[in-house]
Amino acid sequence: MNKLCIVIPAYNEEKRIGKTLEKYSLFFEKARKNRELDYEILVVINNTKDKTESIVKSFSKKNKRIIYLNLIRGGKGYAVVSGFRDTLKRKNELIGFVDADLSTSPEEYLKLVKNISSYDGIIASRYIPGAILSPKQTIARIIASRVYNFYIRSLLFFPYSDTQCGAKLFKRKTIESILPSLTMSQWAFDIDLLYISKKKGFKIKEFPTVWSDKTFSKIKLLSSGPMMALAILRLRLLNSPLKGFIKLYDNLPFKIKF
Domains and CATH numbers, the chain: 3-220 (3.90.550.10)
What per-residue confidence (pLDDT) applies to 216? 44
Banded pLDDT at 243 (limits 50, 70, 90): low
Nearest to 189 by CA among 76, 49, 22, 52: 76
What ranges make up the beta strands (E) of 161-201? 167-171
Please give the C-alpha separations between residue 241 and each of 47, 129, 244, in angstroms, as whole numbers.
36, 37, 8
Amino acid 33: pLDDT:
95
Residue, of 114 and 189, whose pLDDT is higher: 114
Q: What is the pTM of this model?
A: 0.88
The mean predicted confidence, pLDDT, of the chain is 89
In angstroms, the CA 192 to CA 255 distance is 19
What H or E segment, with its residue span, contains residue 40? strand 38-46
- Decide if pLDDT at 256 tops 80: no
Beta bridge partners of 70: 45
Rounded Cα distance between 27 and 149, Å, is: 32
Sign of CA dihedral 165, 167, 171, 176: positive
Per-residue pLDDT at 115:
98
Distance CA 71, CA 80 (A): 11
Q: What is the pLDDT of residue 185?
A: 58
Could you give the C-alpha distances from 182 to 47, 162, 178, 192, 242, in angstroms and in order?
Answer: 20, 20, 7, 7, 19
Question: Quick one: pLDDT at residue 258?
Answer: 56
